[in-house]
Chain A
């Protein structure tokens, strides 16, 4: 076999350089957003047993709801479940504007999603795992959180809301 040099047209070489620069630019933008501005994706929290997470008295999800950690800072423990009627517990939480809320969400049965409209909070809810993201609510209003993963015949009705009061 011959060992001639690979033929690359000058136009094509320039296009490849342009493509590489473009991708480096995108990667840089994403990196700056992630590490400079702190827009991060969920990281592993604790793991739980989905069979007992809703009933074990030591589990925060046996008594799901909002806990005020310090003024303006909250932890929200939310249980997603398909059985019996596709809902989040609690269905609604209310915080004053300017609050920072850390959501800890897990599932008692199948996989669910959790997306708070008009925020960057959007993650999978997987049985056995705890999903966590923190959201700061500056504007008063109603922010629906909706299930974004198919979880059975009631999937379409599964939602709740964060009510931010002035």
Chain B
């Protein structure tokens, strides 16, 4: 059966997302290893002085480009692909989506200029009253607004499809992508409010002071669901593409996959206080409530773990795998897209366990802002998500360009080096955190570092070196594929794992939007409303800005 085909123009549009994403990753990832090397005592920052003034400026570049730009551009491109391919129709209004994309590009450039000029060394959390140049805040706003506009384009496309196909179940990849885009629209209201009501007018000199505690609260309204915005596209691939790639496996349970996406939508926003357990300005009762909801959002991840592993097992047994675990060896490990995503999933599992520790209210007292935290999110966003996206790009780039993937063996090696490097890096960061090492500190310069940290700091550097190699391999494979003269034999087949059950088994209530969306908004009002109202009522605009870098 012939698959639905995207037009050349549509492929180019998706491809431009991928291009910006990979450029951001290329620059941002240069600085990751530099930070790791600094920890090990090999500080290269003094040699970079003409361009990059400090460790902190490098850290800002790394955080903004990798965590915000690489992810957002890759995700918007991937979601757009999923909606078109899943619904088998073009976008309702391609111009609108293009406007969104270009707004995002302009935003990245606007934010990059002050960052590179050392006018916005505020890290990717930009907590006031650290005060960056206005262009930084404006740029971030444009990135968010651009992603909204692209999201609206996806919603319009879905609505048009629904009118044309009133009785059909929404195909899974389109369904899950629309939920991801919707989650993003809801949760970014926090950061938009923070920037538009405080930081942007403040940086422009229109208001003199801000309320840092309130700003943090707006920020974390967005900050946690942000991680689900990163994660859900990887889940889409793990659920509905990876089993097919790994050995023609099918999706074990379509209904529960959909249910888990709905639970993510409902629960991922109203729990942001779990990033603020040790903030002075929020009553413990609200923090505790958010901690319980954080445990709740772990549930759909557990469901995902089951369905994905069961679907992979189906693939492994189809490939002739036997035994309780031996089928794992029969998955298509030689396919770099499969290897990358399987390895990403394995490390993500450990990232999830560490996340439970962070979420555990008072346990967090031992972990808050220690090296445990970057150790944790390098397993989640920097591996579970990033290595999966790399894996996706190993089939997506050939699909979009019609060019053969350059040297799949190198690509497989890339996945494994990322896996090994990240284990070394992340494990030592976790241990350092438990020993009390703070995050965001050039520990090579810190006067309070005890000797017992040294062996772990060395391992951080070793992990960083392996990751640097892996990043270089990835960029080489991408570049050489883009330049490859060898075309793919025929059109690349998009890997889609069909559901094991007939779609008529998927109940209708899983395809109704209103109850879930209203439920999401209601829950946010209940668990955020009273405290946020109180903080806004008692707003204290008393903090002038500081440029202390």
Interface size class of B (residues with CB under 8 A): 35 or more
B298 within 8 A of A: yes
**Interface-side segment among A34-42, A60-68, A93-101:** A34-42
Please, which residue of chain A has its CB at the minimum distance from the CB of B209? A51
Do B167 and A1 have beta carbons less than 8 Å apart?
yes
Contact B129 A41 (CB under 8 A): no
The answer to whether A43 has its CB under 8 Å from any CB of chain B is yes
Cβ contact within 8 Å between A40 and B356: no
Question: Does B196 have its Cβ within 8 Å of any Cβ on chain A?
Answer: no
Query: Do A150 and B546 have beta carbons less than 8 Å apart?
Result: no
With A9-B253, A12-B256 already in contact, the answer to whether A123 and B278 are too (CB < 8 A) is yes
Q: In the complex the two chains form, is A111's CB within 8 Å of B212's CB? A: yes
Q: Is the CB of B302 within 8 A of A16?
A: yes
User: Residue-by-residue, is B149-170 near A (CB-CB < 8 Å gives 1, otherwise 0)?
Assistant: 0000000000000000001010
Would you call B546 and A113 a contact (CB within 8 A)? no
Proximity bits, B301-315, A CB within 8 Å = 1, else 0: 011001100100000
CA distance in complex: A55, B298 (Å): 47
Q: How many residues of A contact B (CB 8 A)?
A: 71
Per-residue CB proximity of B504-517 to A under 8 Å, as 1/0? 11111011000000
A44 touches B280 (CB 8 A): yes
User: Which residue on chain B has the smallest CB distance to residue A40?
Assistant: B284
- Contact (A126, B445) CB under 8 Å given A41-B287, A109-B548, A152-B549: no
Q: How long is the Cα–Cα vector from A126 to B279 in the complex, in angstroms?
A: 8
Number of residue pairs spanning A and B whose beta carbons lie under 8 angstroms apart: 222
- B384 contacts A by Cβ under 8 Å: no
Closest CB in chain A relative to B417 CB, distance in Å = 30
Q: Does A129 contact B (CB under 8 A)?
A: yes
Neighbour of B306 across the interface among A12, A44, A128, CB < 8 A: A12
* A157 cross-chain contacts in B, Cβ below 8 A: 445-447
For A31, what are the chain B residues with a Cβ–Cβ distance below 8 Å? Answer: 288
Is A58 on the interface with B (CB-CB < 8 A)?
no
Name the residue on A nearest B127 (C-beta).
A111
Provide the main secondary structure of the chain A interface: loop
How would residues 122 to 149 of chain B score, 1 for a CB under 8 Å from any chain A CB and 0 otherwise? 0100010110000000000000000000
Which chain B residues (96-130) contact chain A, with CB distance < 8 Å?
123, 127, 129-130
Q: Which residue of B lies closest to A123 (CB)?
A: B278
- In the assembly, what is the distance between CA of A34 and CA of B292, in Å? 13
Is A120 in contact with chain B by the CB < 8 A criterion?
yes
Contact status B546-A83, CB under 8 Å:
yes
Indicate if A77 sits at the interface (CB-CB under 8 A).
no
Looking across the interface, which residue of chain B has its beta carbon closest to that of A43? B284
Given contacts A127-B212, A150-B440, is CB(A6)–CB(B506) below 8 Å? yes
CA distance A7 to B361 in the complex (A): 36
Given A41-B365, A146-B448, A1 contacting B508 (CB threshold 8 A): yes
Minimum CB distance partner of A16 in chain B? B303
B436 CB contact (under 8 Å) in A34, A41, A115 = A115
> What chain A residues lie within 8 Å of B255 (beta carbons)?
6-8
Interface string of B532-546 (1 = CB under 8 A from A): 000000001011101
Complexed CA–CA distance, A63 and B417 (Å):
55
Q: Are A12's CB and B281's CB within 8 A?
A: no
Binds A, one of B366-374, B485-493, B521-529: B366-374
Give bound CA distance, A4 to B216, whole Å.
Answer: 46
Q: Say whether A149 contacts B212, CB under 8 Å.
A: no
Q: Are A148 and B439 closer than 8 Å at their CB atoms? A: yes
**Chain A positions 102 through 115: 1 when the CB is less than 8 Å from some CB of chain B, otherwise 0:** 00000001110101
CB distance from A76 to the nearest CB of B (A): 15
- Do A155 and B56 touch across chains, with their CB atoms under 8 A apart? yes
Contacts of B282 in A (CB 8 A): 44
**How many Å lie between the Cα of A140 and that of B282 in the bound state?**
33
Our pick among B169, B252, B362 for the contact of A34 (Cβ within 8 Å) is B362
Do B365 and A129 touch (CB < 8 A)? no
Are B288 and A152 in contact, with the CB atoms below 8 A?
no
Most B CB atoms within 10 A — which of A1, A16, A41, A144? A41
Nearest chain A residue, comparing its CB with the CB of B440: A150
Encoded as 1 (CB less than 8 Å from any B CB) or 0, chain A from 123 to 155 comes to 111111111100000000000101111111111
Q: Is the CB of A120 within 8 A of B448?
A: no
Contact A5 B441 (CB under 8 A): no
Residue A49 interfacial (CB < 8 Å) = yes
B293 to chain A, nearest CB (A): 10
A127 near B543 (CB under 8 angstroms)? Answer: yes
Tell whether B277 is near chain A: CB-to-CB under 8 Å: yes
Q: Are B252 and A23 in contact (CB under 8 A)?
A: no
**A residues near B542, Cβ cutoff 8 Å:** 49-51, 127-128
Are B370 and A156 interface neighbours, CB within 8 A?
A: no
Could you tell me if B369 and A8 are in contact, using CB atoms closer than 8 angstroms? no
Interface centre among B307, B366, B436 (most CB of A within 10 A): B436
Cβ contact within 8 Å between B296 and A23: yes
Which residues from A are CB-within-8-Å of B370?
115, 148
B299 within 8 A of A: yes
A23 touches B366 (CB 8 A): no
Instruction: Judge whether A30 and B362 touch: CB under 8 Å.
Output: yes
Are the C-beta atoms of B438 and A124 separated by less than 8 Å? no
B5 within 8 A of A: no
Complex alpha-carbon distance, A92 and B17, angstroms? 53
Given A15-B302, A19-B299, A34-B361, A153-B280 contact (CB < 8 Å):
no
Q: Which of B256, B299, B365 contacts A122 (CB 8 A)?
A: B365
Give the residue name and chain of the A residue nearest to B125 (CB): A150
Are B280 and A45 interface neighbours, CB within 8 A?
A: yes
B476 within 8 Å of A (CB atoms): no
A/B interface sample: 16 pairs, CB < 8 A: A6-B255, A7-B255, A11-B306, A12-B303, A19-B298, A47-B281, A111-B129, A115-B370, A124-B279, A126-B213, A126-B279, A131-B278, A146-B448, A156-B441, A156-B446, A157-B446
Task: Give chain B's interface residues, CB within 8 Å of chain A.
Answer: 54, 56, 123, 127, 129-130, 167, 169, 211-213, 216, 252-253, 255-256, 259, 276-284, 287-288, 291-292, 295-296, 298-299, 302-303, 306-307, 310, 356, 360-366, 368-370, 436, 438-443, 445-448, 501, 504-508, 510-511, 540, 542-544, 546, 548-549
Rank and list the top 6 A-B pairs by shortest CB-CB distance, nearest first: A152-B548, A148-B369, A19-B302, A131-B280, A123-B278, A129-B280
**20 other contacts beyond A4-B504, A41-B364, with CB at 8 A cut-off?**
A7-B253, A7-B255, A11-B310, A12-B306, A26-B356, A30-B363, A33-B361, A41-B284, A41-B362, A110-B127, A113-B368, A126-B213, A126-B280, A127-B212, A128-B540, A129-B281, A149-B440, A152-B56, A152-B130, A153-B548
